[in-house]
């Protein structure tokens, strides 16, 4: 019998080297056992092959019965566990989560300010991110990881080599791919429980009104003033909270504009776009690569707090971050009564 056990061990090791599945390796050992049993059942006693294999007909049969009992027990135990799983899921704090999601978001659920109810709000929420570039990339990364149920992303641009020092969800292999599809590829690999909806187009009046209506919260990571003013106007019109951030060189700013709940809107703070030479683009003025990560992560943080109803957000306040000198300050924003966007509201 020692010879057969040695062959079985060799088959198992060979299967492991070939990266065969456990089922395939057990199948090889089962075929070996069937061959041994056939030799003992079909060949007469004293046969040289039977002598070389060792053991007796009764011994090999008993071994087969023992293994069958063990396998049957394990299969029965697995069936009982599968039947019990729905009851376990119903008892879980967040109710609608799969076991893998409960494990994934365990550190969120452990936080008193989020817990199961807050994580459930994140799962049921829908967030639209304008731009999959410097600000949108880290915001999408952390919103996806946090378990936002539906993530929309709109951008008409494609991945370029010059993007890669700061737009962290894109890769060298995806240069030339539309950014929204590159973002979806990243997010699908990061968290399969998030529904990602890419919109490869430029945000305009019609698309903004249609898309904003479908989402609970809007994040504006765009890199131009016409888009910022458009996003602010449509969000205010539809009563959608808007988290807006901007960066240049070493500095960034972020606020949550929600005039439906009494805060100023973006146009209250910036009634007119600055002259082009006073607000050059990142391509013209440059930007340190980690700054969009800092500000984009702040956008995700503010979105998570707003949805989970945790802590104090940036409604009516603006955070300004100076990365070069490691300084951050928060200023209070005032609503303008004559604002053409929200002056007549509430």
211 plus 291 within the same structural domain: yes
Label residue 281 by pLDDT band (50, 70, 90): confident
Quick one: average pLDDT of 216-245? Answer: 95
Q: What is the CATH number of the domain that holds 161?
A: 3.40.50.720
What's the pLDDT at 51? 74
134 vs 96, higher pLDDT: 134
79 plus 141 within the same structural domain: no
pLDDT above 50 (res 195): yes
183 plus 74 within the same structural domain: no
d(CA 157, CA 137): 13
Q: Examine residue 105 and state whether it is found in any structural domain, yes or no.
A: no
Domain end call among 40, 66, 91: 91
158 plus 81 within the same structural domain: no
Q: Examine residue 104 and state whether it is found in any structural domain, yes or no.
A: no
Q: 53-63: string of b/e by CB count within 10 Å (b at 16+)? A: bebeeeebeeb
Q: Examine residue 57 and state whether it is found in any structural domain, yes or no.
A: yes
Nearest to 133 by CA among 158, 105, 101, 104: 158
159 plus 249 within the same structural domain: yes
Q: Examine residue 115 and state whether it is found in any structural domain, yes or no.
A: no
Give 160-175 pLDDT, tens digit per residue: 999 999 999 999 999 9
Nearest to 340 by CA among 236, 260, 225: 236
58 plus 180 within the same structural domain: no
Query: What mean pLDDT value characterizes the chain?
Result: 86
Nearest to 256 by CA among 208, 311, 205: 311
37 plus 137 within the same structural domain: no
CA distances (Å), origin 237, targets 208, 209, 213, 229, 240: 11, 9, 10, 12, 8
Q: Examine residue 138 and state whether it is found in any structural domain, yes or no.
A: yes
Our CA dihedral for 286, 287, 288, 290, rounded to 10 degrees, sits at -150
Label residue 93 by pLDDT band (50, 70, 90): very low
67 plus 147 within the same structural domain: no
Backbone angles phi, psi at 42, to 5 degrees: -100, -30
d(CA 182, CA 133): 11
Domain count of the fold of the chain: 2
Q: Which residues contact 134 (CB under 8 A, 6 or more apart)?
A: 163, 166, 167, 221, 223, 247, 282, 287, 291, 292, 296
Bridge-based pairing state of the strands 327-332 and 150-154:
unpaired
Q: Examine residue 339 and state whether it is found in any structural domain, yes or no.
A: no
180 plus 302 within the same structural domain: yes
Q: Which residues contact 112 (CB under 8 A, 6 or more apart)?
A: none
12 vs 208, higher pLDDT: 208
Backbone angles phi, psi at 18, to 5 degrees: -85, 0
pLDDT above 50 (res 256): yes
Give 96-133 pLDDT, tens digit per residue: 789 999 999 999 999 999 999 999 999 999 999 999 99
d(CA 150, CA 169): 18
Domain end call among 91, 114, 147: 91
Domain end call among 49, 66, 91: 91
314 plus 230 within the same structural domain: yes
Domain with 19 in it: 2-91
Identify each DSSP E strand in 146-194 by its residue range.
150-154
Q: Examine residue 176 and state whether it is found in any structural domain, yes or no.
A: yes
Nearest to 186 by CA among 140, 217, 224: 140
Q: Examine residue 346 and state whether it is found in any structural domain, yes or no.
A: no
13 plus 148 within the same structural domain: no
132 plus 81 within the same structural domain: no
């Amino acid at each position: 019998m020692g010879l057969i056990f040695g062959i079985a061990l060799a088959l198992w090791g060979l299967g492991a080297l070939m990266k065969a599945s456990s089922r395939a390796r057990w199948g090889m050992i089962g075929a070996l056992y069937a061959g041994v049993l056939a030799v003992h059942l079909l060949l007469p006693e004293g046969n040289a092959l039977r002598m070389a294999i060792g053991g007796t007909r009764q011994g090999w049969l008993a071994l087969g019965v023992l293994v069958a009992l063990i396998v049957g027990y394990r299969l029965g135990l697995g069936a009982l566990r599968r039947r019990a799983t729905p009851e376990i899921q119903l008892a879980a704090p967040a109710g609608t989560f799969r076991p893998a999601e409960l494990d994934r978001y365990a550190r969120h659920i452990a936080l008193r300010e989020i817990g199961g109810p807050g994580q459930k709000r994140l799962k049921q929420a829908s967030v639209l991110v304008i731009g999959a570039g410097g600000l949108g990339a880290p915001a999408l990364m952390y919103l996806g990881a946090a378990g936002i149920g539906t993530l929309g992303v709109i951008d008409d641009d494609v991945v370029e080599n010059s993007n890669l020092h700061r737009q962290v969800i894109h890769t060298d292999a995806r240069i030339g791919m539309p950014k929204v599809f590159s973002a979806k590829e990243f997010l699908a690999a990061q968290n399969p429980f998030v529904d990602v909806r890419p919109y490869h187009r430029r945000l305009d009046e019609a698309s903004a009104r249609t898309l904003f209506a479908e989402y609970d919260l809007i994040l504006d990571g765009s890199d131009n003033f016409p888009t910022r003013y458009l996003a602010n106007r449509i969000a205010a019109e539809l009563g959608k909270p808007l988290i807006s951030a901007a960066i240049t060189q070493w500095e960034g700013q972020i606020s949550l504009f929600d005039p439906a709940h009494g805060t100023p809107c973006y146009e209250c703070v910036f009634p007119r776009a600055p002259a082009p030479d006073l607000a050059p683009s990142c391509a013209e003025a440059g930007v340190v690569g980690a700054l969009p990560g800092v500000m984009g992560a702040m956008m995700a943080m503010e979105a998570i707090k707003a949805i989970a109803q945790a802590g104090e957000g940036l409604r009516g306040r603006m955070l300004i971050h100076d990365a070069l000198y490691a300084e951050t300050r928060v200023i209070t924003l005032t609503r303008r009564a004559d604002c053409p966007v929200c002056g007549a509201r509430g």
